[in-house]
């Protein structure tokens, strides 16, 4: 284990139930989380991301495998013996206490001197920009303010790792977007390792230094947001992160031959036989009917303000979506029923595993 690794999860298995009825929530999962990074566990409901977070926190014990923190085995330690704190979806604040009393609570339980507790509480409230709210009851705060109190309380004891279990899910869209930026700021300023659980790809892309995409108790891919978006390892990752077009056909002479008889060049393609490629909607370019790699018919146009989504179909019925900037030079004036040509930049077409 390298000196820069905060958490090392090694071959971890978590099964619920016994015998043939047992369900594996995590199936031989291994991942290293670096010190001082914002690391996100991303995936749909039931993929195992929250189970993995609870194992790191100590709220669940693994069926097999090892969890290390700073090189020390914490696999079987109870939660109060681990130098980690957790921010829950519900915030779990004490409604009868003031903001300052909520933040100070954990420090008092650790037996720290009153002067040190007061100084640290003031520091944390300033960090989350709630220093003027110190004497208010948490019941008098908005959802976003309550979340910041929960963050301040969790950060106050200076944990080595902060675990966050979908803490933004209860907030409305604009507040959630604002808090995404706030969370990243807090992580950068404190230098604490954040491990964040979400099913929301926008949250993951906005905040994360690295992302682990999970499905069916396994980690499908780990990488930066850019790496995962541009070079998805398989169809699941490509489909879960952003919008995608998938085209399947036969590989030959460095190109993909579709059922329509048309071909798309794929850079670096060496394999033969049946393959699937992915191309992102914003990487398609539309032109005149005979100007492109493929010919398609415009089915539907949906205006989203900054973008227009153009839903197309190939001659065999395969559906494709293009995302065009509004207005897009040379692509304005599209009409439903119109025949267009689709062009693909060489680097935009990626082969993916099924």
DSSP 241-258: SS--EEEEEEEETTEEEP
Instruction: List the helix and strand counts (H, then E) for the chain.
Output: 8, 20
Average pLDDT estimate for 32-50:
96
Residue 294 has pLDDT above 70, yes or no: yes
Which pLDDT belongs to residue 330? 46
pLDDT digit string, tens, across residues 67-125? 999 999 999 999 989 999 999 888 789 888 999 999 999 899 989 999 999 999 999 99
Antiparallel, parallel or unpaired: β 5-16 and 72-73: unpaired
pTM of this prediction exceeds 0.85:
yes
Which pLDDT belongs to residue 176? 85
d(Cα 334, Cα 330) in Å, to the nearest integer? 10
DSSP 148-201: HHHHHHHHTT--SEEEEESTTTTS-HHHHHHHHHHHHHHHHHH--EEEEEES-H
Domains (range + CATH), the chain: 5-236 (3.40.50.300), 243-352 (2.40.50.140)
Token pair listed for 13: 């298995």
pLDDT digit string, tens, across residues 193-215? 999 999 999 899 999 999 999 99
Question: 54 falls in which pLDDT band (50, 70, 90)?
Answer: very high
Average pLDDT estimate for 148-166:
92
**Which CB contacts under 8 angstroms, 24+ apart, belong to 77-82?**
82/57, 82/58
**Mean pLDDT of the residues in the chain:** 91
Average pLDDT estimate for 51-59:
97
Which pLDDT belongs to residue 19? 80
Residue 327 has pLDDT above 70, yes or no: no
Which pLDDT belongs to residue 1? 63
Higher pLDDT, 42 or 148: 42
Higher pLDDT, 334 or 240: 240
Residue 331 has pLDDT above 60, yes or no: no
Residue 155 has pLDDT above 60, yes or no: yes
């Amino acid at each position: 284990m390298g000196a820069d690794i905060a958490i090392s999860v090694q071959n971890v298995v978590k099964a619920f139930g016994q015998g043939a009825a047992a369900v594996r929530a995590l199936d031989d999962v291994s991942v290293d989380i670096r010190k001082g990074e914002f690391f996100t566990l991303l995936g749909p409901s039931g993929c195992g991301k929250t189970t993995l977070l609870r194992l790191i926190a100590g709220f669940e014990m693994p069926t097999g495998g090892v969890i290390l923190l700073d090189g020390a085995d914490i696999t079987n330690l109870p939660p109060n013996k681990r130098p980690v704190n957790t921010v829950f979806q519900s915030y779990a604040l004490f409604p009868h206490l003031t903001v300052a009393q909520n933040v100070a609570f954990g420090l008092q339980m650790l037996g720290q001197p009153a002067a040190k507790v007061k100084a640290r509480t003031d520091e944390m409230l300033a960090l989350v920009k709630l220093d003027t709210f110190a004497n208010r009851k948490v019941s008098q705060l908005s959802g976003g303010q309550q979340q910041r109190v929960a963050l301040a309380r969790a950060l106050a004891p200076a944990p080595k790792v902060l675990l966050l279990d979908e803490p933004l899910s209860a907030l409305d869209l604009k507040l959630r977007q604002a808090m995404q930026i706030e969370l990243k700021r807090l992580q950068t300023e404190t230098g604490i390792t954040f491990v964040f659980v979400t099913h929301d790809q926008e949250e993951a892309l906005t905040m994360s230094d690295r992302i682990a995409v999970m499905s069916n108790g396994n980690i499908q891919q780990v990488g930066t947001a850019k790496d995962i978006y541009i070079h998805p390892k398989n169809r699941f990752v490509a489909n879960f992160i952003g919008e995608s077009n998938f085209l399947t056909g036969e590989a030959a002479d460095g190109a993909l031959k579709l059922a329509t008889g048309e071909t798309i060049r794929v850079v670096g393609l060496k394999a033969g036989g049946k393959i699937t490629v992915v191309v992102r909607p914003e990487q398609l370019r539309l032109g005149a009917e005979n100007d492109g790699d493929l010919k398609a018919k415009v089915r539907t146009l949906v205006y989203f303000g900054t973008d227009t989504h153009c839903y197309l179909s190939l001659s065999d019925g395969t559906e494709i979506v293009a995302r065009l900037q509004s207005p897009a030079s040379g692509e304005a004036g599209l009409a439903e029923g119109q025949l267009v040509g689709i062009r693909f930049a060489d680097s935009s077409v990626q082969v993916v595993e099924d």
